[in-house]
Amino acid sequence: MRRARLAAALTAAAGIILTGCSGGAPGASSSGPADITFWGWAEGYEKSVALWNKTHPDIQVKYEHITDGGAGGYDKMLTAAKASKAPCLAQIGYETFSSFLASGVLQDVSAYVKPQKGEFEDWVWNNVGVDGKAYGIPVDTAPMGMFYRADLFTKAHIEVPKTWDEFTAAAAKVKAADPKSRLMNLPTDPYLYAGFAWQGDAPWFGTKGDAWSVSLDSAANSRVGEYWQGLFDKDLVTSYPAFDAALYSAWSKGTVWAEVGPVWSASLIRDNSAGSAGKWAVAPMPRWGTTDAVGNSGGSATAVMKDCAHPKEATQFALWMSTNADSVSNLIASAAILPASKSGLTNPALDAPQSYYGGQPIYQTFRDEAAKVNSTWRWGPVMSTTASALGDGLGKVHTKKGTFQDALGGAQKNTVSALQTQGFSVSQ
């Protein structure tokens, strides 16, 4: 089943080629000074734009702050693109990039990124393009690690777990040391949970011939889900809603001792758990046995929209924003990002001690872990449906009205249905 204009035409070698995308040669830039509009929402972007504008009078960027993508920003971008009123550049999370490609609203800028292609790892490029083509520039990645209350671990004589088996043992020890405390909160946010599947080599999407494959209910995914279900069934984790004030309070009061999450959890914990400042530390994400791989949960890119009249100049700025030392230093300080570029990962700002984390230079850990992110993960083109269905299912676990397996099965069914409804070929 296939739509003639917007459906995906897939090839096994490439992964995906989307016929709705502007996939030919990049559009030629018009003569004269380039005025480029950039839509985004991340903290600090406007400061990097200001730095650029001071030294590039012939390419001026106008930054417009919009609502967070998932809260309406993406809808605004797509609506503008359909009316040929989209900006040149747009902030798009990796998880949503395939959806924008499928909508045919991005422009191929491969020729313009080629000189700096080596600045980013292949798995990072895979998040912003297909078949070796690029439709945007990566800004940051979000490898996962383990944030934990070092003071409580030390007091209870609990070693920081290095594997998921050790994590289970540590969870039991926390409960034994303080029956009112638990090691971690259940990961029911769909994108946070995706990071665990990512690490566990449990993909959700792939390609077979000219069709998408969907595997949320695979054996590998069941293994990851059953792990968390087992912790919940043994009463070894809390079940607060994701990003809820009750969870933040538990972090601050010391009734939840750890959080396995992406690098941006550093600011989330710091900004919402002031009462435990100086007591936290960071360690690598627990591993599955001897497999030295971690998951990624987040990260975004600066995408070039299809009607941009200055794609070369827009790409030039986007590359600069992600690699220039002053810009990257600003983004680290303002948005607490882990840079996606190799040069960005050498930025001295990542070596700075973090007072909230007892003076530990925590970003060094995430810089090391970034090299171990499982490189095979691919996001699908209907992630809004996938995430909604999975989130609804995971939200029923704590009331015992559903299990992780139920949630994965429901997300599988809804995702396949959405793909077919939108005209994509789906392998069964």
Q: Is residue 194 part of a domain?
A: yes
The answer as to whether 122 is a domain residue is yes
Enter the tokens of residue 302: 């600066």
Number of compact structural domains in the chain? 2
Q: Token pair 């827009």 is at which residue? A: 314
Same domain membership, residue 401 and residue 253: yes
pTM (2 decimals)? 0.91
At residue 40, what are phi and psi to the nearest 5 degrees? -170, 180
- How many CB atoms are closer than 10 A to CB 375? 12
Torsion of CA 363, 366, 371, 372, to 10 degrees: 170
d(CA 223, CA 239) in angstroms, rounded, equals 20
Question: Does 359 map to a domain?
Answer: no
- 351 token code pair: 């070596």
Predicted confidence at residue 30, as pLDDT, reads 47
Nearby residues of 249 by Cβ (< 8 Å), 6 or more positions away: none
Same domain, 110 and 189: no
Q: What is the pLDDT of residue 31?
A: 57
Give the CATH number of the domain where residue 408 resides.
3.40.190.10
Query: What is the pLDDT tens value at each position of the chain, 428 positions in all?
Result: 333 222 333 332 233 333 333 333 344 444 567 999 999 999 999 999 999 999 999 999 999 999 999 999 999 999 999 999 999 999 999 999 999 999 999 999 999 999 999 999 999 999 999 888 999 999 999 999 999 999 999 999 999 999 999 999 999 999 999 999 999 999 999 999 999 999 999 999 998 888 999 999 999 999 999 999 999 999 999 999 999 999 999 999 999 999 999 999 999 999 999 999 999 999 999 999 999 999 999 999 999 999 999 999 999 999 999 999 999 999 998 888 999 999 999 999 999 999 999 999 999 999 999 999 999 899 999 999 999 999 999 999 999 999 999 999 999 999 999 999 999 999 97
Residue 362 lies in a domain: no
pLDDT at residue 28 in the model = 43
For residues 185 and 238, membership in a common domain is answered with: yes
Contact between 358 and 147 under an 8 Å Cβ cutoff? The reply is no
Q: What per-residue confidence (pLDDT) applies to 124?
A: 95
d(C-alpha 17, C-alpha 365), whole Å: 36
User: Which residue segment(s) compose the domain that 136 sits in?
Assistant: 8-141+299-346
For residue 32, the model assigns a pLDDT of 62
Check whether residue 275 and residue 416 sit in a common domain: yes
106 with 149, same domain: the answer is no
Backbone angles phi, psi at 187, to 5 degrees: -80, 95
193 with 76, same domain?
no
Q: Is residue 311 part of a domain?
A: yes
Whether residue 117 sits in one domain with residue 231: no
Alpha-carbon gap, residue 345 to 339, rounded angstroms: 6
357 domain residue, yes or no? no
Co-location of 152 and 180 in the same domain:
yes
Q: Do 219 and 80 fall into the same domain?
A: no
Cα distances (Å, whole numbers) of residue 150 to 153, 254, 281: 5, 11, 6
> Which residues partner with 64 through β-bridges?
39
352 is a domain residue: no
Q: Which residues contact 219 (CB under 8 A, 6 or more apart)?
A: none
Domain assignment present for residue 428? The answer is no
Place of tokens 């994400």: 285
Distances (CA, A) of 293 to 60, 169, 213, 284, 285: 41, 21, 23, 10, 9
CA angle 316, 139, 114 (to 5 degrees): 45
pLDDT in the model for residue 74: 97
Pairing status of strand 300-304 against strand 89-93: antiparallel
Length of the chain: 428
220 shares a domain with 341: no
**Domain co-membership, 91 together with 129:** yes
Claim to verify: residue 286 and residue 310 sit in the same structural domain: no
